[in-house]
Amino acid sequence: MTLLLLSFGGFTAGMLGGLLGIGGGILIMPLLRFVMGLEPAHAAGTCVVAVFFTTLSGSFKHFKLGHIDFRSILPVIFSGLLSTLIFSLLFFYLSNKDTWLDVATGVVFSFVALRMIWEGIAEYLKKRRSLDTGARIEGSILAKTTIGAVAGVLPGLLGIGTGAVLVPAFALALNAPIKIAIGSSLACFSLNAFTSSLLKLSQGFVQINMLIPLCLGTLIGARMGATLNGKLNSPFLKVLFGMVFVYVASKYLVMFGRV
């Protein structure tokens, strides 16, 4: 039953990640933390490895769909890698701060939930505007470097994806089409997640027995989600998941009372 639950959770997270460009950690983290009962540090470590496979599979599919131009996102990738490395090292010293990690994760999840609700409503009302520049992400090197550095904090410190930062930054700040923003977000995060995964493995924060069924699920789900992204409009889905994640975030923020 545990293996089936982890596989199904990984599949669902992978599909969500491939569809919306958020990595899938927003589902995997509460699954590991509240259902499997892992401590925050081990949940974060196991989550980021599973999310790496989500982003790898999803970004490959998005690349085939023509949603990624790697040259235009190199500044985001490099600054994100450096930021992830720094905060992954810091994670080791904060790993025993269970309440702090829970509350920080809850804050990030709240932001993701609100962002998804807003995007869903905005798409439904057709108020979103973006420039058709193919797969290229426009913008200055400074802007892209700053976006990457900020996004790299999440996988390094909390073990969750950068989609919470990258998708809205690409779509809103750099005015990229939403499908290009999603594909580029997954491509940038795949390298960040790889760096964070290696460090958390070496630090002993990854539960290998739970990781295998999770990764099998995410690999399949991410490709399916990326395929659906190319065919479907998803405003209702974004609002629905946003409402669910408001509840998930509230479970983390309840931990604030323990501080």
pLDDT, tens digit, 9 for 90 and up, residues 118-130? 777 777 776 555 5
Which two three-digit tokens encode residue 60?
Answer: 């490959």
Residues 15 and 218 sit within 8 Å (Cβ to Cβ): no
What does the pLDDT read at residue 76?
Answer: 93
Report the mean per-residue pLDDT for the chain: 79
HSE-CB at 164 with a 13 A cutoff on CA atoms is 25
What does the pLDDT read at residue 96?
Answer: 65
Query: In terms of Cα–Cα distance, which of 68, 51, 66, 40 is closest to 16?
Result: 51
pLDDT in tens, 87-144: 878 777 766 666 666 677 677 767 767 776 777 777 777 655 555 556 789 899 999 9
pLDDT in tens, 197-207: 888 898 888 99
pTM for the complete prediction? 0.70
Q: Residue 68 and residue 58: Cα distance in Å, rounded?
A: 11
